[in-house]
Amino acid sequence: MNTIRYLLTAVLAGAMLYVPIADAADPPLIRFGRGFAAEEQVWLMSARPDLAPNQGKKYQLKQILFRANPQRFQAYLAGELDGGTAPGLAVIFARSQGVDMKILASICLEAAGSEHFSTTYMAKDGGPVKSVKDLKGRTLGVVGIKTATDLWARAGLLNAGLTPDVDTKVVPLGFPAMGEAVRSGKVDAGTFVEPFYSAEVAKGGLRKLFTAVEAVGYDHELLDIWFGEKFLKAHPDAVRAFLADYVAVTKYYLQNTRQAKTDLHKAGFVRTPLAVYLKNSDWKRDPGARVDVESLKKLAVFMQGKLGWLEKSVKVEDMVDLSYLPR
């Protein structure tokens, strides 16, 4: 009987000792929802963990691929994600519905200038659409309803004095199908991002109508990193360590783009042929990952005032927290 008691005591004592040891040994796991375009620095953290020295020590990273933003946010609401990537406007939507999340860092921006790529809207060369005004009574393809591509399309139409949905139909269509849809006249203009943009321009026969930056009139946030407020409160040091690594990886990516892209391709994060991927122009990325808060404020005002997409206004300054970024 005594032997059993001693054994039980030993097991309990062992278990009690093990818990703090296990806690100390295992840094917090960040379940991170990622997308499939323009997030190179984030992917590089998993493709090249050697560039992220805090990984495995101060945090663990598990990246989960999502095809669309609503699904990513639903996973977060269901408690399956701690943070992730998303377009700024998607986070604005989420915040307007009361989702407890904050933008902590920038991934890339839509910016003017030949050195950066900006999402481009194109029509068939030699077709009836010579300018945006010619889209009256016609169809414009975007990648999804209430996405950034939808916002830019509507901004471009409004600039030309056209009312979206009334004068011009805005229809969703996948990026890979966009080029053929424009060429075959199934849509009169479409949205083009890399790598499809370069591929379609190389084929010829398409003319540019406007870019995302021209549509809204200013450089603005495209993709950002967000975290749930509960996770931020529970593991602030893990998030700081994650962002320190993220900024370091961003700097590496900007200085060694060719090598970084090669590594991403090798790791399977990018399916575009390597030669095409290396040639593609890239979005603007801030080396310090600082978020352009003013541009998000303008976007929120535009979404509510001009597009009627928000029923309630969103306080963007409460939505962004840059204090977790390395100083």
Partner 1 sequence: MKSLRSFMLFGSVLLAWELAARSGWWNPLLFPSLAKIADEFIRFVAGADGLHETWVSLYRALGGFALAAVVGVVIGILMGRSALAAALLDPAFSGTYAVPKLALFPIFIFVFGIGSLSKVALVFLECLYPIVIITCQGARNVSPVLIWSAQNMGASRVRIFGRVVVPATVPYIFAGLRVALPVAMIVVIITEMISSADGLGYRVIYALASLQTDRMLAVVLAIALLGYVLDRALVALRGRLVYWEKLDTFYV
Give the one residue of 137, 174, 273, 326 binding partner 1; rule: CB under 8 A. 174
Q: Which residue has the tokens 């001009």?
A: 306
Q: Which residue among 78, 166, 202, 275 contacts partner 1 (CB under 8 A)?
A: 78
Nearest residue (CB) to partner 1, 243 versus 310? 310
> Which of 128, 163, 299 has its CA nearest to residue 224?
299
Which residue stretch of 25-33, 172-180, 192-200, 253-261 sits at the interface with partner 1 (rule: CB under 8 A)?
A: 172-180
Report the nearest approach of partner 1 to the CB of residue 15 (Å).
Answer: 29
- Only one of the segments 8-16, 49-57, 138-146, 192-200 lies at the binding site for partner 1 (rule: CB under 8 A); that segment is 138-146
Which of 28, 127, 144, 205 binds partner 1 (CB under 8 A)? It is 144
Give the strands of the sheet with 29-34, arranged side by side.
60-65, 29-34, 83-87, 220-228, 101-110
- State the Cα–Cα distance between residues 170 and 120, nearest whole angstrom: 15
Q: Where are the alpha helices (DSSP H) in the chain?
A: 2-25, 40-47, 69-77, 88-96, 148-159, 175-183, 196-203, 212-216, 229-234, 236-255, 257-266, 274-279, 293-305, 316-319
Out of 22, 24, 50, 98, name the contact with partner 1 by CB under 8 A.
Answer: 98
172 binds partner 1 (CB under 8 A): yes
Binding residue for partner 1 (CB under 8 A) from 118, 147, 198, 250? 147
Near partner 1 by CB under 8 A: residue from 42, 47, 52, 187:
187
Give the shortest CB-5-to-partner 1 separation in angstroms: 40
Q: Of residues 32, 66, 93, 253, which one binds partner 1 by CB under 8 A?
A: 93
How near is the Cβ of 161 to partner 1 at its closest, in Å?
20
Tell me the per-residue interface mask from 295 to 324 with partner 1, x by CB under 8 A, - otherwise: --------------xx--------------
Cα separation, 37 vs 264, whole angstroms: 12
Contact pick of 47, 51, 94, 178 for partner 1 (by CB under 8 A): 94
Q: What is the C-alpha separation between 90 and 235, in angstroms, rounded?
A: 24
Q: Are 80 and 47 in contact (CB under 8 A)?
A: no
Pattern of binders to partner 1 over 33-72, x per CB under 8 A? ------------------------------------xx--
Q: Which two tokens stand for residue 47?
A: 């493709």
DSSP state of 320: B
CB-CB contact of 64 with 33 (8 Å): yes
- Tokens linked to 261: 């892209």
Of the chain, the end-to-end C-alpha distance in Å amounts to 61
Q: What is the total residue count of the chain? A: 327
CB closer to partner 1 out of 140 and 241: 140
Using the rule CB under 8 A, is 136 a contact of partner 1? no
Residues that bind partner 1 (CB under 8 A): 69-70, 73-74, 77-78, 93-94, 96-99, 139, 141, 144-147, 165, 169-174, 177, 180-181, 184, 186-187, 309-310
